[in-house]
Amino acid sequence: MTRPPLRKDAARNWDRIVAVARELVDEHTPLQLNDVARRAGLGVGTVYRHFPTPEALLETVALPCLETLAGHGEAALRDTDPWRALTGFLLHTVQAQVTDPSLATVSAAASDALPRTTQLKESLRSAGTTLLARAHAAGVVRTDLTAPDLVPLMCGIAYAAEVHCETPAERSATARRYLLTLLEGLRTPPPAA
């Protein structure tokens, strides 16, 4: 993420605010700008100057994950194997959902505080739609699976892994297993030889 150049002290404050917000998100603690200021040892005004809303701060925390996912989407679009491209992209997506608690809230928001968030979310939607269309065209995935189905399916898998597993490693392994099982159910059987 690029931001306008800041004075050294302002850049340190920005970094500190984002680091504290990341800690709170990882603890599953709702972001309140006053709490962030207190934990960061900064004035509330300093936090509000950098992030006018909790949503803007949460999106800033989520941006690295969204950027990485968008990169995976671009790589998947370059893959010439439609099944591998779709499954690889979905595996990266569900992995991000179970490892970054900021992602679900930011992804589900009806509106975005930051223009970059909107761009990245649109890039991800577009990649998923294109990858699914390619898989449909190649006849490797069930035709009744639609692009709008992808997000709820990924969220369902991430939620199931979250509630049934205690450690991050268990959540990742379980989400991967659930997704691979789902994908095998969505795959079109190869024609009989």
Average predicted confidence (pLDDT) for the chain: 92
Write down the pLDDT at residue 191. 62
What fold is seen in the domain 1-52? Answer: Arc Repressor Mutant, subunit A (1.10.10)
What fold is seen in the domain 62-186? Answer: Tetracycline Repressor; domain 2 (1.10.357)
Please write the tens of the pLDDT for every residue from 77-117.
999 999 999 999 999 999 999 999 999 899 989 999 999 99
Q: What residue has token string 């959902």?
A: 97
CATH 1.10.10.60 intervals, the chain: 1-52
CATH 1.10.357.10 intervals, the chain: 62-186
Write down the pLDDT at residue 80. 97
CA distance 74 to 89: 9
Write down the pLDDT at residue 188. 85
pTM here is: 0.88
Closest-CA residue to 107 (of 159, 59, 171, 44): 59
